Structure 1
Amino acid sequence: MSRSERTDANSQAVLSALGNKYSAEILCAAGTPKSAQTLSEDIEIPIATCYRRIEELVDAGLLTCEGRRLSEEGRRTNIYRRTLDEIEVDFSGERPRFSKTRRTEAKNQLHDQLQD
């Protein structure tokens, strides 16, 4: 697959993920590490819908699984956090172009410490 084809595929995945209902809300809520259950409760959406949106956002590189934690019920659950703080889409050319402001690990650690 050429670089252009990969860029087109990634652009399609990002646009598709962002175009789905609740995706933006999940990204906003995932500024701190959260489980799918917590995200579902925070945004008040069905858990099955939340899992579908999470999978799309992870596939598009907009959300990442940061690891696993024990839930209150004692089950291991994945914890997710967004990978960026901002995204800008430019449609003026032949293909959409994205400008992203990625979250750094340092920013994540600082944010986590301020939340405790």
Structure 2
Amino acid sequence: MSHPDTTPTESAGILSALGSKYSAEILCAAGTPKSAQALSDDIEIPIATCYRRIEELVDAGLLSCEGRQLSEEGRRTNIYRRTLDELEVDFADTRPRFSRKRRTEAKNQLQDQLED
């Protein structure tokens, strides 16, 4: 699905978020809901860096908070999942245009069942 209505600011936010080190790895790892700590552990990056990348990706609309769950220490923690499976960037025009393949709720549910 193409989004020609993406503003220059939104385009810059998406490109900036994707350009940050570890952002792509976080999106790959976040196919199922995961906490920042789980993402940090999976990718083997410092938790502070992971939180910064998560914030950038959420602001860019590429990652969303799916809710909260209890951590092993009994604290409530946010869990995140990517909002899309594919993103294509077209640079042929005067500003980048994006085509996105969004994740459907049905796909999320199916993947969650497979993980259990």
Name the CA distance, whole Å, in 2 between partners of 1:102 and 1:16: 20
Aligned residues: 113
User: What is the CA distance between 1:5 and its match in structure 2?
Assistant: 9.1
Q: Which structure 2 residue ranges, 5 or more long, are not aligned?
A: none
Name the CA distance, whole Å, in 2 between partners of 1:89 and 1:64: 20
2:18 is the counterpart of 1:21 = no
Partner of 2:51: 51
Note the aligned Cα RMSD (angstroms). 1.3
Is the contact between residue 86 and residue 100 of structure 2 (CA under 8 Å) also seen in structure 1? yes
Name the CA distance, whole Å, in 1 between partners of 2:42 and 2:110: 22
2:62 is the counterpart of 1:65 = no
Name the CA distance, whole Å, in 2 between partners of 1:16 and 1:113: 33
* TM norm structure 2: 0.94
| 1:67 alignment partner, SS class | strand
* TM norm structure 1: 0.94
2:80 is the counterpart of 1:80 = yes
Higher helix share: 1
Of the two structures, which has the highest relative contact order with CA contacts closer than 8 Å and spacing of 6 or more?
2
Name the CA distance, whole Å, in 1 between partners of 2:6 and 2:93: 17
User: What is the CA distance between 1:115 and its match in structure 2?
Assistant: 1.0
Question: Deviations 1:6-45 (Å, cap 9, x if unpaired)?
Answer: 6111101000000000000000000000000000000000
Q: Percent identity?
A: 81
Name the CA distance, whole Å, in 1 between partners of 2:77 and 2:106: 24
Q: Which structure 1 residue ranges, 5 or more long, are not aligned?
A: none
